[in-house]
Amino acid sequence: MISLRPARPADAETIFGLIEALAVYEKEPEAVVCTAQELRDQMAQEPPPFECLIAELDGEAAGFALFFHNYSTWRGRRGLYLEDLFVRPEHRKKGIGRRLLSALAAVAVERGCARMEWAVLNWNELAIDFYRSLGAGPLDDWTTFRLTGAPLEALAKDGEKPE
């Protein structure tokens, strides 16, 4: 039996384990630098920087969806950004990913969000096909940029703090 529930700070170890499994699947296991304690502390903040749904199959954590709100200036409303969606390989093809996305869509609609967005690796054809089957489409005219580490620090040194 599949059940979905909102994660609580006590679920930090479970979420961390799923994050590690996702990193292995995405061929970047060394990229995870957060800790379960950091997740626990962040989930205890008010408001927390993210929310998470955990999918359980027969009482075992089978997958998760970690999300937060962004904002659309053109639509004048917030959106829901799905940072991570992951179902353990042994639990795939059981409807868990669809249930997680459906639950997130319900959250987005209930909260008056203008849209729901996420990114997918270009090589992940299984996920791309799945998302397309739900009616989602890629934003082909957009390229995601990221600034981290030393380049982020260097640019910050040139900046000034707003007062």
Residue among 25, 71, 81, 131 flagged as catalytic: 131
The per-residue pLDDT for range 83-97, each reduced to its tens digit, is 999 999 999 999 999
Q: Which pLDDT score, from 0 to 100, does residue 160 have? A: 77
In this predicted structure, the answer to whether residue 20 has a pLDDT above a threshold of 90 is yes
The per-residue pLDDT for range 55-87, each reduced to its tens digit, is 999 999 999 999 999 999 999 999 999 999 999
What angle (nearest 5°) sits at the alpha carbon of residue 61, between those of residues 59 and 66?
135
HSE, side-chain direction, 13 A CA sphere, residue 32: 19
pLDDT band at 9 (very low <50, low <70, confident <90, very high): very high
Q: From the CA atom positions of the chain, what is the Rg in Å?
A: 17
Secondary structure of residue 8 in the 3-state scheme? coil
The answer to whether residues 109 and 80 touch, using CB atoms and an 8 Å cutoff, is no
Active site residue 131: yes
Q: What tokens appear for 140 in the block?
A: 């082909």
Q: What tokens appear for 66 in the block?
A: 């970690």
The per-residue pLDDT for range 24-57, each reduced to its tens digit, is 999 999 999 999 999 999 999 999 999 999 999 9
The reported pTM is 0.92
Domain ranges of the chain: 2-158
Q: Which CATH class is domain 2-158?
A: alpha beta
Per cent of the chain over pLDDT 70 is 100
Closest CA relative to residue 114, chosen from 51, 72, 66, 158: 72
**Residue type for position 56:** E
Secondary structure of residue 3 in the 3-state scheme? strand
H helices present in 89-144, as ranges: 96-110, 125-133
- Mean pLDDT for the chain overall: 95
In this predicted structure, the answer to whether residue 161 has a pLDDT above a threshold of 90 is no
